């Protein structure tokens, strides 16, 4: 019986540890040839070490799979182009790009430095755009040449971005931008045989271990394992998923769900006098669903006092 991703070529960014490592191992176990991309830096993006990426490559080879390490920065224009070319040069094609690389520089808005904002936006948002751009150019050229294309871009957003989390205006803005990027890129690439989806993971990794209470039991630790994120990413990477695009999936040890985007809520006729808007806006807001909290449920978002 053929495996889910047999013969497909996949790039996974930030694949040396945590969630990205699980993606790479899962894809390889289902037959994909994997480019394991990772700078090997710290949680804040500093430093570099190719050994984590190489270790994942060795794990994949030990299970009988094919993989190669890549240390290019996904937020570097030339590096992103080299990353895509690495897959084509090494394995002869490209089918899947999983944009997973990320860093954290958490700070309350009134204390955030310009560099802390720029670094996070650069790695997450540009680091999603740049590899996607070169992958899409590759697929578009193949499609225009009359060759079959069954491409996949799978981005990593976050509940911090689509729902909101204090102390993460930089990270949340980048992740919300990735959700919007996913929707628009899906519309642009559909004609070329490429789907674009995103996953909002919740898992305990070195990036998140300090953001909440530590797991108290083995059951809690298992529920927060990054291994729960890889199955939906692996399925979205497969040929089976060609009918699904422009979607954001929440994934964790607690739930697998589709996150629904912005929709127009309560409405009224346009008003040209701001002095009468008070009761009109109060009525509209009163009818609208409350903003969701980090659990995705309406009403969980703190309301102003």
Q: Note the pLDDT tens digit of each residue in 121-147.
A: 999 999 999 999 999 999 999 999 999
Q: Note the pLDDT tens digit of each residue in 224-279.
A: 789 999 999 999 999 999 999 999 999 999 999 999 989 999 999 999 999 999 99
Q: Is 171 a catalytic residue?
A: yes
Q: Note the pLDDT tens digit of each residue in 5-52.
A: 999 999 999 999 999 999 999 999 999 999 999 998 666 656 568 999
- What string of H, E and C letters represents the secondary structure of 225-266? CHHHCHHHHHHHHCHHHCCCCCCEEEECCCCEEEECCCCCCC
Q: Of the listed 138, 163, 171, 192, which one is catalytic?
A: 171
Domain chopping of the chain, boundaries: 9-259, 265-305
The predicted structure's pLDDT at residue 42? 63
The predicted structure's pLDDT at residue 223? 78
Cα dihedral 141, 142, 146, 148, rounded to 10, equals: -150
**Domain 9-259 CATH (choose: 3.40.50.80, 3.30.870.10, 3.40.50.720, 3.30.470.10):** 3.40.50.720
- Mean pLDDT for 85-100 is 98
Which DSSP state fits 168? B
- pLDDT > 70 fraction of the chain, expressed in percent and rounded: 91
User: What is the full DSSP assignment across 187-224?
Assistant: HHHGGGTEEEEEEEE----TTTTTSSPPP-SHHHHHHT
Q: Work out the mean pLDDT of the chain and round it to a whole number.
A: 92
| Measured CA distances, 55 to 36, 59, 143 (Å) | 10, 6, 35
The predicted structure's pLDDT at residue 134? 98
- DSSP 3-state of 144: helix
The predicted structure's pLDDT at residue 62? 98
305 has a pLDDT exceeding 50:
no
Select from 180, 189, 178 the least CA-distant residue to 245: 189
107 has a pLDDT exceeding 90:
yes
- Mean pLDDT for 180-192 is 98
Burial of 248: CB neighbours in 10 Å, binned 0-12, 13-18, 19+: buried
- Mean pLDDT for 148-161 is 96
């Amino acid at each position: 019986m053929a495996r889910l991703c047999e013969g497909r070529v996949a790039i996974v960014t930030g694949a040396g540890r945590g969630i990205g490592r699980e993606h790479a191992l899962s894809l390889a176990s289902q037959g994909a040839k994997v480019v394991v991309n990772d700078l090997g830096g710290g949680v804040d993006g500093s430093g570099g070490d190719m050994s984590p990426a190489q270790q994942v490559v060795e794990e994949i080879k030990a299970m009988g799979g094919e993989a190669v390490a890549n240390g290019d920065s996904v937020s570097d224009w030339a590096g992103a182009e080299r990353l895509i070319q690495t897959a084509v040069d090494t394995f002869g094609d490209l089918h899947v790009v999983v944009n997973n690389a990320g860093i954290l520089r958490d700070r309350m808005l009134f204390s955030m430095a310009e560099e802390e904002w720029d670094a996070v936006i650069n790695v997450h948002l540009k680091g999603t755009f740049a590899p996607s751009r070169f992958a899409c150019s590759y697929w578009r050229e193949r499609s225009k040449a009359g060759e079959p294309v069954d491409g996949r871009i799978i981005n990593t957003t976050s509940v911090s971005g689509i729902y909101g989390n204090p102390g993460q205006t930089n990270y949340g803005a980048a992740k919300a931008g990735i959700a919007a990027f996913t929707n628009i890129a899906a519309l642009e690439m559909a004609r070329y045989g490429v789907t674009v989806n995103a996953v909002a993971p919740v898992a305990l990794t070195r990036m998140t271990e300090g953001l909440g209470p530590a797991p108290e039991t083995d059951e809690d630790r298992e529920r927060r394992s990054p291994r729960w994120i890889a199955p939906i990413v692996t399925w979205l990477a497969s040929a089976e998923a060609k009918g699904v695009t422009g979607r954001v999936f929440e994934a964790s040890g607690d739930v697998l769900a589709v996150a629904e985007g912005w929709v127009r809520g309560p409405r009224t006729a346009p008003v040209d006098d701001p002095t009468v808007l008070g009761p009109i806006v109060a009525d509209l807001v009163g009818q609208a669903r409350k903003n969701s909290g980090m659990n995705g449920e309406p009403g969980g978002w703190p309301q102003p006092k």
